[in-house]
Amino acid sequence: MASLKGKPPLIGWLEERLAFDAIQSFVAHKRVPKHSATMWYYFGGITLFLFGIQVATGILLLLYYRPSAAEAYESVQFIVTRVEFGWLIRSIHSWSGNLMILAAFIHMFSVVFLRSYRRPREITWLSGVGLLGLALGFGFSGYLLPWNTISYFATKVGTDMAAAVPLIGPTLARFLRGGDDVGGATLTRFFGFHVAVLPALTTGLLLVHLFLVQSFGISSPPRVEEQNRASGGPAPEMPFFPNFFLRELMAWYAALAVLGMLAAIFPWELGEKADPFAPAPAGIRPEWYFLAPFYTLKLIPSHVWMFEGELLGLLGFGLLAAWWVTLPFWANDRSGGERTRLLTGTAVVLIAYLATFSALGYWK
């Protein structure tokens, strides 16, 4: 235990009860690998930082938001027009949600390219993919909450896709909608998912993810490990605190600058209030991170041989997701050698597919 001598009595009292010295010791001894790809490590932290902003701004929005079909749109309109800096809070919440998902995708692909999922980090990978899934759930449920035309019809399309899932589809769609169609019950339900269910699940999984990251430390790419082995010397590292921490802080500030610019120069539009009896307007599309599967399903014919096209599409996405999630378990062959070509090829094809189909879904 560190000496309490010479410290203010309150600090000393707290140190004795909160085991500051253990934390100090942990931080002082924590090391982070230093190499040319170190910058990719920051995206996990940026994702966490943006999640923190989501939580903070979400709580502020909760002070005024009213989750009912009759009041949701008007309450958001009140927030952005009447509440002091309400427009900024709402705009930051919307933009940081999107940037968080973007940062999470970058983080995920950097983990693949740097081979950071390798033994013993398989569960870290699984928890990370789970967190990305939860982030997409936040996006899907939050999109409906302003109850505007675009979000209403996009949710209809989204829940229709869920209805096409074999066996459980109709039940799943009914569970999501709280009825046969998207309506006030859906809004209340999505609000519940958005502010209670998903945050609880995310908090739990995030703690697991962070615990595992701390337990196993940050991985170095295989080529860096080989270089280190070849040189025979100690691997280049930097102290987590203050060196890496300050760099990470810079990355957070950069993210904050981008977020501030987007929120102030392109405030998130409110659109028109949803009218369930109006025909769906042209150009209905989901958020950008759902555009690729959305556009793919649009391209698939309604019937392929004896199967429904939508069903085949969903089956394909399911298999692709399973293939991707289980990546750490097939990344190595039986002799322990890495399937480098298969891994890199899968990741590159997936990035190309997501980029191309998202662009096509946006522009077409």
CB atoms within 10 A of CB 204: 13
Q: Say which DSSP state 39 is in.
A: G
Q: Which of 9, 233, 336, 337 binds other proteins (CB under 8 A)?
A: 233
In angstroms, the Cα distances linking 119 to 19, 32, 217, 327, 350 are 32, 18, 12, 12, 23
Structure tokens at 313: 């599409």
Select from 106, 136, 172, 249 the one that contacts other proteins (CB under 8 A): 249
Count CA atoms closer than 13 A to 67's CA, side-chain side: 19
CA–CA separation, 319 and 328 (whole Å): 16
Q: Which is nearer to other proteins, 181 or 225 (CB)?
A: 225
CB distance 73 to 148 below 8 Å? yes
Q: Which H or E run contains 303?
A: strand 303-304
Residue 334 sits at φ, ψ, to 5 deg, of -65, -30
Q: Is 52 in the site for other proteins (CB under 8 A)?
A: no
* Minimum distance of other proteins from residue 165's CB (angstroms): 37
219 counts as binding other proteins under rule CB under 8 A: yes
Task: Please say which residue, 77 or 188, places its beta carbon nearer to other proteins.
Answer: 77
Q: Does 87 participate in binding other proteins (rule CB under 8 A)?
A: yes
Q: For other proteins, which residue of 179, 217, 281, 301 counts as binding (CB under 8 A)?
A: 217
Please report the sign of the dihedral spanned by the C-alpha atoms of residue 304, residue 310, residue 311, residue 314.
positive
Query: Per rule CB under 8 A, is residue 28 in the interface with other proteins?
Result: no
The distance of closest approach from Cβ of residue 206 to other proteins in the complex, given in angstroms and rounded to an integer, is 21
Which is nearer to other proteins, 198 or 224 (by Cβ)?
A: 224
- Among 52, 179, 242, 345, the residue binding other proteins under the rule CB under 8 A is 242
Residues in 263-292 at the binding interface with other proteins, rule: CB under 8 A: 264-267, 269-270, 272
225 binds other proteins (CB under 8 A): yes
Among the residue ranges 126-134, 180-188, 220-228, 344-352, the one whose residues contact other proteins (CB under 8 A) = 220-228
The DSSP H or E segment spanning 135 is helix 122-144
312: contact with other proteins by CB under 8 A = no
3-state secondary structure of 273: strand
Show the site string, 53-82: x = touches other proteins by CB under 8 A, - = not: ------------------------x--xx-
Among 174, 247, 285, 298, contact with other proteins (rule: CB under 8 A) = 247
Q: Is the dihedral of CA 354, 360, 363, 364 positive or negative?
A: negative
- Tell whether residue 26 is a contact of other proteins (CB under 8 A): no
Q: Binding to other proteins by residue 299, rule CB under 8 A? A: no
Query: On the CB side of 364, how many CA atoms lie within 13 Å of its CA?
Result: 13
Q: Which residues, including other chains, have CB under 8 Å from residue 63's CB and lie 6 or more apart?
A: none
The residues that touch other proteins, with contacts defined as CB under 8 A, are 31, 33-34, 77, 80-81, 87-88, 216-220, 224-225, 228, 233-239, 242-243, 246-247, 249-250, 253-254, 256-257, 260-261, 264-267, 269-270, 272
